[in-house]
């Protein structure tokens, strides 16, 4: 949990991601599901992230606003904005790009892992 507080303070994640992570950790710890907890952390610490939440914050858009602009479902918007998804469909990506006037590169970011060796 200290890791996510540090990441939040360094502006690497937003508060909704931290709240979501803490909630999921509590659920997994209370059910004593260690394997699921490990899978969850691997997903959270992925090196590819969606920047929809940042775009929404900059433009002061709510989930409802983005749904209206893009035609993408509210659940998908919520998940992408919290960077809590493993994949994104091309149809979803197209709707977001068209509705928000952005490119895929504006929505998706690659963050290299410090432990990754480069050739």
pLDDT tens-digit readout, 64-110: 999 999 999 999 998 888 877 778 899 999 999 999 999 999 999 88
Are residues 31 and 51 part of one domain? no
Backbone torsions φ then ψ of 26, nearest 5 degrees? -60, -45
If you average pLDDT over residues 52-56, what whole number do you get? 91
**Are residue 3 and residue 57 in the same domain, yes or no?**
no
63 and 34 within one domain: no
d(CA 19, CA 82): 10
Q: What is the pLDDT of residue 79?
A: 86
Report how far residue 72's alpha carbon sits from residue 80's, in angstroms, rounded to the nearest whole number: 11
Tell me: the pLDDT tens digits for 5-31? 555 455 555 556 666 666 666 666 666
Residue 28 domain-assigned?
Answer: yes
Same domain, yes or no: 51 and 64: yes
In the prediction, which pLDDT does 102 show?
96
What CATH number is associated with residue 55? 1.10.260.40
Is 1 within the bounds of a domain?
A: yes
How many domains is the chain built from? 2
Range of the domain at 4: 1-45
CB neighbourhood size of 92 (10 A): 19
Whether 119 is covered by a domain: the verdict is no
Report field, pTM of the whole predicted structure over 0.85: no
Asked whether residue 105 falls in the same domain as residue 54, the answer is yes
Q: Is residue 62 located within the same domain as residue 30?
A: no
What's the 3-state SS for the chain? Answer: CHHHHHHHHCCCCCHHHHHHHHHHHHHHHHCCCHHHHHHHHHHHCCCEEECHHHHHHHHCCCHHHHHHHHCCCHHHHHHHHCCCCCCCCHHHHHHHHHHHCCCHHHHEEECCCCCCCCC
**Residue of 45 and 48 predicted with greater confidence:** 48
Within this chain, do residues 58 and 107 fall inside the same structural domain, yes or no? yes
């Amino acid at each position: 949990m200290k890791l996510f507080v540090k990441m939040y303070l360094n502006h690497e994640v937003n508060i909704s991601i931290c709240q979501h992570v803490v909630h999921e950790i509590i659920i997994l710890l209370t059910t004593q599901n260690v394997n699921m907890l490990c899978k969850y952390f691997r997903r959270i610490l992925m090196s590819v992230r969606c920047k929809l939440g940042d775009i929404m914050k900059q433009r002061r858009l709510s989930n409802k606003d983005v749904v209206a602009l893009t035609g993408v479902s509210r659940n998908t918007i919520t998940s992408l904005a919290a960077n809590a998804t493993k994949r994104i469909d091309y149809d979803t990506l197209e709707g977001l790009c068209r509705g928000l006037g952005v490119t895929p590169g504006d929505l998706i970011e690659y963050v290299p892992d410090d432990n990754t060796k480069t050739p």
